[in-house]
């Protein structure tokens, strides 16, 4: 009995006792997988921090806010790159 339920990696498994006990995992809603709003909100927060810090202080904090704002645009570029790869059907692309 035990030997019949063990399968090797890569072996086709069509036995009803295994497939009957597995449940289909539902897809996550689009609003939970879309990273664009998260990146936009984060970039906006850095932009507000940059403006406030530019007029109230100087030095390292302004540079930090400027870096966060710039990296937000890098994040938007990465999200766009992933979307383009998923549209053209790249196997390595994350499905967004």
Checking if the pLDDT of 95 tops 70, the result is no
Domain boundaries in the chain?
27-87
**Structure tokens belonging to residue 48:** 């507000």
Short-list 86, 49, 76, CA closest to 64:
49
Predicted confidence (pLDDT) per residue in 13-60, tens digit: 555 555 566 888 888 888 888 889 999 999 999 999 999 999 999 889
The size of the chain, in residues, is 96
Predicted confidence (pLDDT) per residue in 17-26, tens digit: 555 668 888 8
Q: Please report, for residues 1, 5, 20, 38, the alpha-carbon distance to residue 14 in angstroms, rounded to integers and kept in the order given.
A: 16, 11, 10, 41
pTM of the model: 0.65
Residue 11: exposure state from Cβ atoms within 10 A (0-12, 13-18, ≥19): exposed
pLDDT at 12: 58
């Amino acid at each position: 009995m035990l030997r019949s339920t063990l399968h090797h990696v890569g072996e086709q498994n069509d036995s009803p006792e295994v497939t009957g006990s597995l449940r289909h995992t539902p897809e996550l809603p689009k609003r939970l997988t879309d990273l664009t709003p998260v990146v936009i909100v984060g970039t906006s927060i850095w932009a507000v921090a940059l403006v406030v810090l530019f007029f109230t202080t100087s030095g390292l904090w302004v540079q930090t806010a400027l870096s966060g704002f710039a990296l937000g645009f890098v994040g938007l570029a990465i999200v766009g790159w992933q979307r383009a790869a998923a549209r053209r059907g790249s196997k390595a692309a994350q499905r967004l």
